[in-house]
């Protein structure tokens, strides 16, 4: 049995009253890797119920994409430190319908249950350096809800090009690296690369044995002198499930947006949308539907 329920329960308690006994400490921070230095990391230490460090993370996203249902809220009900050195992103059903308050309009013209959820975007931008290997890695797990109660739940760990903050060149040309995405509680995690239409779109999945802790990473290998020989490799627990080479992308401008320009790191739990489809009447909210993050780090080879 995992200690997930206990931590969830204690964290819920922390919202209402002071916790007298701390939750179980998992003591998982970014590991040291031989031949690499850590350029940036967060291990999510701090008291239960606090927001994550807002010097490191921006919590302000209110936008909607892909017909998703959730409203991301910058509050500890949806985004909080567990007190056990983890970050919890927790989707909740809210009362009422069509309660979208902000973001792109018009939002799906149909009646649906309101959901709130959590999203964090790093204020930090990493740029995969020429001549180096760059690893963006996180250890994360999921809540214990069964797949049958997870319809529409859509957690993601990904990076987005800084160029996506501006209208030019637009998305997906500005570059997006989806390190891990999971829909509907299926036992699969997916990696996908986005850049200019026609140049990217490579995607593959890896089977996920359980909801428990796994380490997800993408390595940008820019040690080859020619960009066509450089690559991005996706791994779960060190096992490769997708590799894209410069030569697969074909266009150097497109390659630069995904491999040579600054990206930020994002974690979120979306609800509904084009890929997972709508939540069902049996979709459950709360800690059983969360994504929990032990650490995230940017490593660079020496
Ligand atoms: C966790 O992160 C803090 C702040 O960056 C750092 O001071 C501390 O050493 C880290 N803890 C571990 C166990 O790595």
Ligand 1 center–CA 29 separation, angstroms: 7
- What is the third-level CATH fold of 5-14+117-301? Jelly Rolls (2.60.120)
Burial class of 167 by CB neighbour count within 10 A (0 to 12, 13 to 18, 19+): exposed
Exposure class string for 16-54: b at 16+ Cβ within 10 A, else e? eeebeeebeebebbbeeeeebebebbbbbbbebbbbbee
Which residue lies with its CA nearest to atom 11 of ligand 1? 29
Q: Is the pLDDT of residue 200 over 70?
A: yes
Which residue lies with its CA nearest to atom 5 of ligand 1? 42
What's residue 209's pLDDT?
Answer: 92
Ligand 1 center–CA 83 separation, angstroms: 14
The Cα 224–Cα 268 span in angstroms is: 33
Nearest residue to 127 (alpha-carbon basis) of 234, 263, 274: 263
Banded pLDDT at 27 (limits 50, 70, 90): low
Ligand 1 center–CA 27 separation, angstroms: 10
The Cα 230–Cα 221 span in angstroms is: 6
Which residue lies with its CA nearest to atom 14 of ligand 1? 29
- Residue 280 sits at the vertex; the CA angle it makes with 150 and 147, to the nearest 5 degrees, is 20
Ligand 1 center–CA 100 separation, angstroms: 37
User: Do you know the residue count of the chain?
Assistant: 302
For ligand 1, residues with CB inside 6 Å are: 29, 43, 45
User: pTM for this structure?
Assistant: 0.89
Measured from the Cα of 85, ligand 1's closest atom is 1
Work out the mean pLDDT of the chain and round it to a whole number.
Answer: 88
Give tens-digit pLDDT for 121-131: 999 999 999 99
CA 150 to centroid of chain Cα atoms = 17
Give tens-digit pLDDT for 50-78: 999 999 999 976 666 777 888 888 999 99
| Domain range list for the chain | 5-14+117-301
Measured from the Cα of 45, ligand 1's closest atom is 1
Burial class of 67 by CB neighbour count within 10 A (0 to 12, 13 to 18, 19+): middle
Q: Is the pLDDT of residue 152 over 80?
A: yes
What's residue 258's pLDDT?
Answer: 98
Probe residue for ligand 1, chosen from 29, 44, 299 as the CB with the greatest number of ligand atoms within 8 Å: 29
Are 231 and 214 within 8 A, CB to CB? no
Which residue lies with its CA nearest to atom 13 of ligand 1? 29
Ligand 1 center–CA 44 separation, angstroms: 9
Ligand 1 center–CA 153 separation, angstroms: 31
């Amino acid at each position: 049995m995992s200690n997930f329920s206990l931590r969830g329960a204690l964290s819920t308690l922390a919202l209402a009253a002071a916790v007298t006994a701390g939750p179980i400490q998992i003591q998982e921070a970014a590991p040291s890797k031989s031949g690499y230095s850590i350029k940036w990391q967060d291990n999510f230490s701090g008291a239960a119920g606090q927001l994550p460090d807002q010097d490191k993370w921006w919590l302000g996203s209110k936008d909607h994409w892909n017909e998703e249902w959730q409203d991301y809220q910058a509050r500890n009900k949806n985004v909080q430190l567990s007190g056990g050195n983890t970050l919890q992103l927790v989707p909740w059903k809210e009362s009422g319908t069509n309660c979208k308050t902000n973001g792109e309009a018009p939002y799906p013209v149909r009646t649906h249950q309101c959901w709130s959820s959590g999203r964090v975007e790093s204020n930090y931008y990493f740029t995969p350096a020429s001549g180096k290997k760059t690893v963006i890695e996180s250890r994360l797990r999921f809540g214990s809800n069964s797949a049958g109660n997870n319809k529409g739940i859509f957690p993601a760990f990904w990076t987005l090009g800084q160029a996506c903050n501006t209208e030019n060149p637009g998305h997906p040309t500005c570059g997006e690296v989806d390190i891990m995405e999971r829909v509907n509680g299926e036992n699969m995690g997916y990696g996908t690369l986005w850049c200019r239409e026609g140049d990217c779109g490579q995607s593959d999945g890896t089977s996920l044995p359980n909801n428990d802790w796994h380490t997800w990473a993408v390595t940008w290998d820019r040690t080859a002198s020619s960009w066509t020989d450089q690559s991005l490799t996706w791994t779960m627990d060190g096992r490769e499930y997708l590799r894209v080479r410069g030569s697969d992308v074909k266009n150097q401008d497109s390659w630069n947006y995904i491999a040579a320009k600054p990206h930020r790191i994002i974690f979120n739990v979306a609800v509904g949308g084009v890929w997972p489809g709508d939540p069902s009447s049996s979709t459950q909210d709360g800690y059983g539907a969360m994504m929990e993050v032990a650490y995230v780090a940017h490593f660079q080879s020496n």
